Chains A and B, each alone.
Chain A
Amino acid sequence: MTFRTRILVIFATTIVAAVAMVVGIVSSSTRREFERSNAERTAALVQQFSKEFDLRGEEVARAAERIAEADATERILIDVNGAERDYSLHVGDASALSRSHGLDFLELVAGDGTIVSSAQWPARFGYKEAWLLEPVDWKSQTAFLKREDLAEESVLALEAVRVAARGDSRLYVVAGRRLGDSFLASLVLPSGMRALLYRNLEPGFSPQALSGAAPGDAPRLKSLIEQVQHENREATSVIPWTSDAASEETFHALPLDGRDKRPLGVLLIGSSRAPVVALVRFIRNVGLVVGGTGTLLALLLAGWATARVTWPVKQLAAGAGEVARGNWEAHVEIDSHDEIGDLARAFNQMTRELTEQRDRLVQAERVAAWRELARRLAHELKNPLFPLQITVENLERAKREHPEQFEEVFRESTQTLLAELANLKTIIGRFSDFAKMPAPQFEAVDLNALVRAVLRLLEAQLATSAAIHPEIHLDPRLPSIQADPEQIKRALQNLALNAMDAMPGGGTLRMQTRQYNSTVILEVSDTGQGLTKEECDRLFTPYYTTKQHGTGLGLAIVQSVVSDHGGTISVESVPGRGATFRIELPVTRPASAAGA
């Protein structure tokens, strides 16, 4: 990962994490606040329900009391408790009284518990209401929940009992109102809330017993209702109506007990979670927008910042690359005054010093080469000049001291002079050859054949040096290469002669060929005394020689030939164990020589 990418990732991650954290904290706080508000609203609604419940209970109780105290009721009391009880006179009275008092239910019950008249179920006259005979002070008894069985159904009622009494005669007035949809409709519900009433009147769960619910609500609320029925205490549950979280509704359910403290109904207060879900979604969306925008800005900012930081570094890296490729004159243009600027200036200083050192070194080497050339020239020329000087001095002395012998001396001296001049000419020719090395003429060359040809040329010399044993290892699958056969042959000959010179006491001259990828390798080894490391380093320098009478141009010429063929030459040597010269040549014609 690049420095720039790393910076971008760090910037983006930091911003996204910060935004996510803010969104998370705000969302969580919003949810908590909503739950708290919801709990307060639910409590208020429960309180309202209780208040309404009590209010209606008081109304029912007052209605029952008014009926019990009415004169008409006294007439009924006398008729139904007299010697000849005649209920037929009053069988319809409960209906009329219930209508006039705004009651849903009213039963007039004789002192023995027999129903005289029933508004809600007129046909039940004559049947018993045994529970009224329980020892209860009905006058002080507040309204209570009661299951009321009707002809077609059972309903939940808020009922109160009052007693009209004259002497020992009694008439129970059981008044009530239905607890259902109309009661729920009277509750003032805050927005997003609703109240449902389950009438716990059937043995099992009955969807029809749920008032105020939409079609299809009941099955989802079943488990909550059954939990309240079973445990007879409040419970809360979140009901998801659809897969959309906004459809969720929190239901708080509380049992409504009858006189026997068993739940006859369950009040459910539902609160929609849509507002909080919408708010959380809004916060999340804002967070996404802010996070996205921040990330984008972060990318731009990070790009700009990293560009400012990495551009000089890249410039420095490019300059270093130039230096690595040999361009020591590479220069970095950075105009900053920070650490990067210092680094750039140091780099430029370094390349400048490197160039200067290289120039000085080249100058030194050039001087050294000239000195070496002068020394070699002096040495090479001094050897033939000395016999010339002696011969000329012999001629002068013979002329002066032995004129008779001058002719003979002259003849001998002339031969010597010619021989030495020829020697001088040869030396001058070698230097001339090195100076004007021709361009190679490329053609397909069988390197193995060249090796064999060179060995044949050296057979005579090898025959005189019986102690040197030639040995060749040629790769039969070696491909032809594009090369100048004469120059390669000359280079091989030079290497072979050097090897033979390195083994004056005899040894093994080994020549071998092999292929390595797209190059062929030719090795010439001897088993002579070997070379030191310093000798190895300077061996290919022109005019450097380890021989007493060498010109120092042989290996320089070899290196020049190999270089003109796009190849390389190296030497490995272990002192005392001989040396190996290795030439690597490309199979194809080198690109630098393509136009030749």
Chain B
Amino acid sequence: MRRFAWQLLALISLTGLRTSAPAETRPRYGGTATVEIHEAITLTDPGEWPPALVPWVYDRLVRLDDHGQPRPALAISWQHDAENRRWEFQLRPGVKFHDGSPVTAAAVAASLKMGPKVAISSEGASVVIQDETPAPDLPGTLADSRYAILRRGADGVTSGTGPYRIAEWQAGRRAVLAANEDYWEGRPFLDGIELRMFRAYRDQAVDLELGKADVVELSIEDARRAAQRGLRTWTSAPFELIALVFERGRAPAENISFRQSVALSVDRAAIHDVLLQKQGEASGALLPQWVTGHAFLFPAARDLEGAQRTAAAVPKSGLRATLSYDPADALARSIAERIAVDAREAGVLIQVAPGGQADMRIARVPLRSSDPAQALSDLASAFHIGELMEPSAATDEVRYQVEKKVINDFRVIPLGHLPEILGIASRVRNWQPHRWGDWRLDDVWLEPRTP
């Protein structure tokens, strides 16, 4: 099922590129690309970075190709035993960290942190990973940004091996990355990247339109507007779960009938068609269809009669609740208000408020991994529903059952999955990011600005 998903994604990706990418010209070196993001990054630790940005500075042992297959990166080859418990990765020779120190097996083993059940050691130029449980997808897992290889200096500053190094760092505001002249895969075309952080979506859209930025994040509303104005956009696969989460310990949320009535009352189609501008997908599943292949099995349609019937079983005093959202997130607010409208039809009164303590909240959780098991585990941590998860969701069937168990508990109500939409300046050439994550700027070059 997963293979089918990857193939489908690849097809969609190609279609998207054809429709949005301008005609390519000959590559050229030089120039600094300006990238704006909404998030404020305070640390140089890649664990704190948006996954899409991590490959700019940090490499992993393995990377995924456009088909989701693991390909060599810092590791040039790997072997495993029959039970998939012991894996040995041979490192690429001659690679150096940005601080000039060589990338050794010991340094890589020191960099990797994979939990108490996984032992990591070095053997010559190889890194040995011994897992207590079989890990047949370990190379795919190591392609995740959280397993980026780095060297932490005495001052706490990290060094990677990626195509760009950190030349200037203003925590939470601005960073300047310079091209790594000694990059093992060849110097990138760009001389550098200026990363502007904590930029409002609307400001990013304006900067893109004014030519002040080359790559920006776009909100759904701005994406439509940008498209209408002929600006170049790129849409990722739906990778961000947007969900209604019932908080633990809050009286109304502890009543499963109440949770169910709210869940059944939600009109996901209206949210997807209007609020999400038909971006992404309306879904009743935790993970998107392209990741698991079974998301369509979870009903997403509204059942107002069922919601009203379920609400009737709840004491009238228990049919009131509060719903919070991130005050900085206009989309979350719109969705929260729509949920309140839908719930009112079922007889549930929901008061919407920005931030603060509430019985429910709108949560937006980006998937940090395309691996369904890892993604489920990440969601379990994000939603504090670890007790509902199986210790090892190794197969599709088990993962489906786990997801079903979570869905039927009605504590986390998936509403849909959103893609990431970027605005790309017309002078950016060879923009070929992975649809599920990495913003690959190592192969990008810039056309000179027209006077």
Whether A associates with B in a native complex is yes
Which residues of A are interface residues toward B (Cβ below 8 A)? Answer: 86-89, 91-92, 121-127, 151-152
Q: Which residue of B lies closest to A124 (CB)?
A: B341
Residue on A nearest B341 in the bound complex, by CB:
A123
Contact of A123 with B334 in the complex, beta carbons under 8 Å: yes
Asked if residues B270 and A126 are in contact (CB atoms below 8 Å), the reply is: yes
Distance of A123 Cα from B337 Cα, bound (Å) = 6
Stretch among B63-71, B274-282, B356-364, B424-432 lining the A interface: B274-282
Residues of A within 8 A of B224 (CB): 89
- Assuming the contacts A122-B334, A123-B341, asked whether A91 and B275 have C-beta atoms less than 8 A apart, the reply is yes
Complexed CA–CA distance, A2 and B158 (Å): 122
Q: A126-B267, A151-B352, A152-B351 are in contact. Are A88 and B278 (CB under 8 A)?
A: yes
16 new A-B contacts, CB < 8 A, other than A87-B274, A88-B273, are A87-B273, A88-B275, A88-B277, A121-B337, A121-B341, A123-B334, A123-B337, A123-B338, A123-B341, A124-B341, A125-B274, A126-B267, A126-B270, A127-B341, A151-B340, A152-B351
Given contacts A123-B334, A151-B352, whether A91 and B341 have CB atoms under 8 Å apart is no
A121, B340: Cα distance in complex, Å: 11
Instruction: Check if A123 sits within 8 Å of B277, measured CB to CB.
Output: no
**Residues in B328-367 with C-beta less than 8 Å from chain A:** 334, 337-338, 340-341, 351-352
Which residues of B, 180-218, contact A by the 8 Å Cβ criterion?
A: none
The 8 Å CB contact of B340, one of A86, A91, A123, A127, is A123
B274 touches A91 (CB 8 A): yes
Least Cβ distance of B168 to chain A in Å? 39
* Smallest CB separation, B49 vs chain A (Å): 32
User: Does the CB pair A92–B351 fall under 8 Å?
Assistant: no
Q: B267 — which chain A residues lie within 8 A by C-beta?
A: 126
Nearest Cβ distance between residue B365 and chain A, in whole angstroms?
A: 22
Q: Mark B217-247, 1 if CB is under 8 A from A, else 0.
A: 0000100100000000000000000000000
Are A151 and B274 in touch, CB under 8 angstroms? Answer: no
CA of A152 to CA of B337, assembled, Å: 11
A88-B274 contact given A123-B334, A152-B351, CB 8 Å threshold: yes
CA A104 – CA B322 in complex, angstroms?
Answer: 26
Report Cα–Cα, A4/B429, bound state, in Å: 126
CA distance A124 to B345 in the complex (A): 11
Which residue of A has the minimal Cβ distance to B267?
Answer: A126
Complex formed: what's the CA distance from A152 to B341 in Å? Answer: 11
The 3 lowest CB-CB distance pairs between A and B, nearest first, are A123-B337, A123-B338, A88-B274
How far does the alpha carbon of A125 sit from the alpha carbon of B277 in the complex, in Å?
13
A122-B270 contact given A88-B277, A92-B221, A152-B351, CB 8 Å threshold: no
Residues in chain B near residue A88, CB distance under 8 A:
273-275, 277-278
Which of chain A's residues has its CB closest to B221's CB? A92
- A91 surroundings in chain B (CB, below 8 A): 274-275
B274 in contact with A126 (CB, 8 Å)? yes
Number of interface residues of B (CB under 8 A): 16
Give the residues in chain A near B340, CB-CB below 8 Å: 123, 151
Closest CB in chain B relative to A554 CB, distance in Å: 127
| A395 to B278 CA separation, bound complex (whole angstroms) | 194
Contacts of A151 in B (CB 8 A): 337, 340-341, 352
Nearest CB of chain A from residue B111's CB, rounded to whole Å: 46
- Closest CB-CB distance, A429 to chain B, in whole Å? 137
User: How far does the Cβ of B218 sit from chain A's closest Cβ, in whole Å?
Assistant: 16
In the complex, chain B residues whose CB is within 8 Å of the CB of A89: 224
Residues facing A in B410-427 (CB within 8 A) are none
Distance of A193 Cα from B341 Cα, bound (Å): 41
- In the assembled complex, the CB of A150 is this many whole angstroms from the nearest CB of chain B, namely 11
- Tell me the bound Cα distance from A575 to B153 in angstroms: 167
CB contact list, B286-344 vs A, under 8 A: 334, 337-338, 340-341
Q: What A residues does B277 contact at CB under 8 A?
A: 88
Chain A residue with minimal CB distance to B272?
A88
- Docked Cα-Cα span, A92 to B331, in Å, equals 12
User: Distance (Å) between the CB of B219 and the closest chain A CB?
Assistant: 12
Q: Which residues on the A side are within 8 Å of B273 (C-beta)?
A: 86-88
| Per-position binary interface string of chain B over residues 348-392, scored 1 when its CB falls under 8 Å from any chain A CB and 0 otherwise | 000110000000000000000000000000000000000000000
Give bound CA distance, A152 to B352, whole Å: 9
> How far does the Cβ of A107 sit from chain B's closest Cβ, in whole Å?
14
Query: B225 → chain A, closest Cβ, in Å?
Result: 11
What residue in chain A is nearest B270 (Cβ atoms)? A126
A127 proximity list for chain B (CB < 8 A) = 341
Whether the pair B270, A125 counts as a contact (CB closer than 8 A) is: yes
Query: Could you tell me which residues of chain B, from 15 to 73, have a CB within 8 Å of some CB in chain A?
Result: none
Q: Would you give the shortest CB distance from A94 to chain B, in whole angstroms?
A: 13
Contacts of B334 in A (CB 8 A): 122-123
Contacts of B274 in A (CB 8 A): 87-88, 91, 125-126
A122 touches B337 (CB 8 A): yes
Supply 30 A–B pairs (Cβ within 8 Å), ascending by A: A86-B273, A86-B278, A87-B274, A88-B273, A88-B274, A88-B275, A88-B277, A88-B278, A89-B224, A91-B274, A91-B275, A121-B337, A121-B341, A122-B337, A123-B334, A123-B337, A123-B338, A123-B340, A123-B341, A124-B341, A125-B270, A125-B274, A126-B267, A126-B274, A127-B341, A151-B337, A151-B340, A151-B341, A151-B352, A152-B351
Nearest CB in chain A: distance from B269 CB, A: 9
Q: How far is the CA of A91 from the CA of B351 in the complex (A)?
A: 22
CA distance A111 to B403 in the complex (A): 42
Residue of B nearest to A127 (CB): B341
Min CB gap B383→A, angstroms = 24
How distant is the Cα of A49 from the Cα of B334 in the complex, in angstroms?
37
Chain B residues contacting A126 (CB-CB under 8 Å) are 267, 270, 274
Complex formed: what's the CA distance from A156 to B38 in Å?
Answer: 40
Docked pose: A86 CA to B276 CA in angstroms: 12
B275: chain A residues at CB < 8 Å are: 88, 91
A470 to B79, CA, bound (A): 181
| Residues on the A chain within 8 Å of B341, using CB | 121, 123-124, 127, 151
Smallest CB–CB gap between B354 and chain A, Å? Answer: 13
CA distance A253 to B201 in the complex (A): 52
Nearest B-chain residue to A121, judged by Cβ: B341
Interface residues of B in 241-284 (CB under 8 A from A): 267, 270, 273-275, 277-278
How many Å lie between the Cα of A121 and that of B342 in the bound state?
12
* A89 CA to B277 CA, complexed, in Å: 8
* Nearest neighbor of A118 in chain B, beta-carbon distance: B341
CA of A122 to CA of B351 in the docked complex: distance in angstroms?
15
Closest beta carbon of chain B to A127's beta carbon, Å: 7
Across the interface, which residues of A come within 8 angstroms of B337, CB to CB?
Answer: 121-123, 151
The residue in chain B whose Cβ has the minimal distance to the Cβ of A85 is: B273
Cα A87 to Cα B274 in complex, Å, equals: 6
> Roughly how many angstroms separate A151 CA and B221 CA in the complex, as a whole number?
23
Which residues of the partner chain A approach B270 to less than 8 Å between Cβ atoms? 125-126
Complex Cα gap A149–B267 (Å): 20
Q: Could you tell me the distance between the alpha carbons of A124 and B334 in the complex, rounded to whole angstroms?
A: 10
B276 nearest CB neighbor, chain A only: A88
Q: In chain B, what residue has the closest Cβ to A125? A: B274
B282 → A minimal CB distance (Å): 13
Contacts of A121 in B (CB 8 A): 337, 341
Most buried by B among A86, A92, A126, A152: A126
In the complex, what residues of B have CB within 8 A of residue A124's CB? 341
CB nearest to A152 among chain B residues: B351
Query: What CA separation (Å) do A89 and B278 show in the bound complex?
Result: 10
- In the complex, A91 Cα to B340 Cα: how many Å? 17
Closest to B220 in A: A88
A88 CA to B273 CA, complexed, in Å = 6
Contacts of A122 in B (CB 8 A): 334, 337
When C-beta atoms are compared, the residue in chain B nearest to A117 turns out to be: B274
A125 — which chain B residues lie within 8 A by C-beta? 270, 274
| Interface hub of B273, B277, B351 (most chain A Cβ within 10 A) | B273
Chain A CB within 10 Å — which of B224, B277, B341 has the most?
B341
CB closest chain-A residue, reference B342: A123
C-alpha gap A86/B273 in the complex (Å) = 8
B322 to nearest A CB, angstroms?
12
**A92 CA to B278 CA, complexed, in Å:** 15
Q: Which of B221, B274, B351, B352 has the most CB of A within 10 A?
A: B274
